[in-house]
């Protein structure tokens, strides 16, 4: 879940003005960069209005058009993982943020997802992660889907992957996950199975929370 934060928001943090300048710029931000429905976003997310204003300013700095397409998203994301290939993982993340499935991420899409990833409840974070894994959106995670996500993570981490990537390592991890998650042994993992397994197994939880470090 943290990997998304490491794309658009990390550059925002790097460019964020000093604390003294933030207050001075908030009024200007409201006038020049205030998105429609700011009050509504404040009610729907776990961010305050000043935080939303700062996030929007950073979003516009990176995406002046107000929307992010997949190629731009991949380009931004790749800068944070120069030793690996982040393109496939960025593809899956983009699809998770593109809730309207129109091929672009608007500020509302971005901030709603970010609110869940940063300040959502444990269940909300796990639900978001489940939907990331559920590539075909059929309400289940199968072995092929989980293998694709795990392999994309290894590709993204590159030479810093630990343990060192071997051909069968992603499949070994998937097999271990499925053994713990697929309680009824029907070959797929439901949302409830996913959440229960993560809540019951601390090691599994840490594995799932890898996303908070690479998003």
Q: How far apart are CA 209 and CA 48, in angstroms?
A: 25
Which pLDDT does position 38 carry in this prediction? 84
Q: Give the Cα-Cα-Cα angle 144, 83, 70 (nearest 5 degrees).
A: 60
Structure tokens at 114: 């970010």
Q: How far apart are CA 44 and CA 158, in angstroms?
A: 37
pTM, entire model: 0.75
H helix or E strand, kind and range, residue 67: strand 67-69
Q: How far apart are CA 106 and CA 104, in angstroms?
A: 6
Closest among 165, 59, 188 to 112, alpha carbons compared: 59
Q: How far apart are CA 160 and CA 56, in angstroms?
A: 33
H helix or E strand, kind and range, residue 105: strand 104-106
Residues written for the chain: 215
Mean pLDDT split into 10-residue runs, the chain, 215 residues: 41 42 39 61 94 90 88 88 90 93 92 93 93 95 93 78 61 88 94 92 66 51
Which pLDDT does position 162 carry in this prediction? 53
Closest among 75, 85, 65, 103 to 8, alpha carbons compared: 75
Which pLDDT does position 157 carry in this prediction? 78
């Amino acid at each position: 879940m943290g990997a998304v934060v490491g794309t658009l928001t990390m550059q925002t943090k790097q460019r964020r003005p000093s604390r003294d300048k933030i207050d001075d710029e908030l009024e200007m931000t409201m006038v020049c960069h205030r998105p429609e429905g700011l009050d509504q976003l404040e009610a729907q997310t776990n961010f305050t209005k000043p935080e939303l204003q700062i996030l929007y300013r950073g979003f516009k700095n990176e995406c002046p058009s107000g929307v992010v397409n997949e190629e731009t998203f991949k380009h931004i994301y790749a800068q944070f993982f120069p030793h690996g290939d982040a393109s496939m993982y960025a593809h899956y993340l983009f699809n998770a943020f593109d809730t309207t499935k129109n091929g672009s991420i608007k500020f509302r899409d971005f901030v709603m997802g970010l609110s869940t990833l940063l300040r959502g409840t444990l269940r909300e974070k796990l639900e978001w992660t489940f939907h990331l894994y559920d590539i075909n959106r059929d309400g289940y995670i199968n072995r092929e889907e989980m293998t694709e996500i795990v392999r994309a993570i290894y590709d993204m981490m590159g030479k810093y992957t630990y343990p060192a990537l071997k051909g069968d390592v992603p499949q070994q991890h998937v097999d271990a996950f499925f053994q713990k998650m697929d309680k009824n042994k029907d070959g797929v993992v439901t949302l409830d199975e996913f959440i229960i397994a993560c809540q019951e197994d601390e090691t599994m939880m840490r594995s799932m929370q890898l996303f908070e470090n690479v998003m």
